[in-house]
């Protein structure tokens, strides 16, 4: 079983990242947040945590920025009606802390707004995961970059994820200047997917 891969990021598309490790190119299906980070690291060496999903007709690798995201993905797979692709869509639509909060507060409405999650699945998520998720240790905040630089990086990441430049410009200019890249990306993705 592959626990993680360390290698050069060769390509990032709207759904997968191609990482070369020991001369082999591994195609990893990732959340939008992970893809945006890897896009920013294009050509560099990165460590990506991996889950191998085996079916009768396919073998698929899922990639994660850190152990916390991987653990949350595995927890979501325990929910009746949530498969690997659905779990990745859920991870793309929120943060660990927001998902934890919605599950613990039994916020069916909030969960139902996540990609590919209906009321029944939201109720199943609460039933299966409430009281069983542990909030990940907070990551030390990165030094704030100048707003212009953050907006430029944000626009570049979103365009590389396949969004139209004019839509990206419209959304990015509405994001407050002091917003960090991670928060800005989540806000922009939410706005763009609802267009």
Tell me the three-class secondary structure of the chain, residue by residue.
CCCEEEEEEEEECCCEEEEEECCEEEEEEECHHHHHHHHHCCCCEEEEEEEEEECCCCEEEEEECCHHHHHHHHHHCCCCCCCHHHHHHHHHHCCHHHHHHHHHCCCHHHHHCCCCCCHHHHHHHHHHHCCCCCCCCCCCCCCCCCHHHHHHHHHHHHHHCCCCHHHHHHHHCCCCCCCCHHHHHHHHHHHHHCC
Domains in the chain, CATH or no CATH each: 4-64 (2.40.50.140), 67-129 (1.10.150.20), 147-193 (1.10.8)
For residue 194, what pLDDT is reported?
A: 72
Please state the pTM of the whole predicted model. 0.64
Residue-level pLDDT at 188: 82
Task: State residue 47's pLDDT score.
Answer: 93
pLDDT tens by residue, the chain, 195 residues: 788 899 999 999 988 999 999 899 999 999 998 999 999 889 999 999 999 988 777 789 999 988 888 988 999 999 988 999 999 999 888 887 888 888 889 989 989 888 888 889 889 999 898 888 765 554 433 333 344 456 777 777 777 677 788 888 888 888 877 777 777 878 888 887 776
What is the per-residue pLDDT for 141?
39
The pLDDT, as a whole number, for residue 143 is 39
């Amino acid at each position: 079983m592959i626990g993680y891969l360390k290698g050069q990021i060769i390509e990032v598309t709207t759904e997968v990242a191609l990482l070369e490790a020991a001369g082999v190119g591994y195609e990893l299906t990732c959340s939008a947040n992970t893809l945006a980070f890897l896009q920013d690291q294009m050509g560099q060496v990165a460590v990506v945590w991996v889950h191998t999903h085996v079916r009768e007709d396919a073998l698929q690798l899922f990639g994660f920025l850190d152990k916390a995201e991987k653990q949350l993905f595995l927890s979501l797979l325990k929910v009746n009606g949530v498969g690997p692709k659905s779990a990745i869509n859920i991870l793309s639509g929120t943060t660990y802390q927001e998902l934890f909060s919605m599950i613990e507060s039994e916020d069916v409405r909030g969960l139902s707004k996540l990609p590919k999650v209906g009321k029944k699945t939201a109720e199943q998520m609460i039933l299966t995961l409430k009281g069983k998720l542990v909030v990940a240790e907070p990551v030390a905040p990165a030094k704030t970059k100048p707003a212009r630089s953050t907006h430029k990086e944000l626009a570049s990441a979103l365009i590389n994820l396949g969004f139209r430049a004019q839509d990206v410009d419209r959304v990015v200019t509405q994001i407050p200047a002091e917003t960090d890249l991670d928060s800005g990306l989540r806000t922009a993705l939410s706005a763009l997917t609802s267009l």
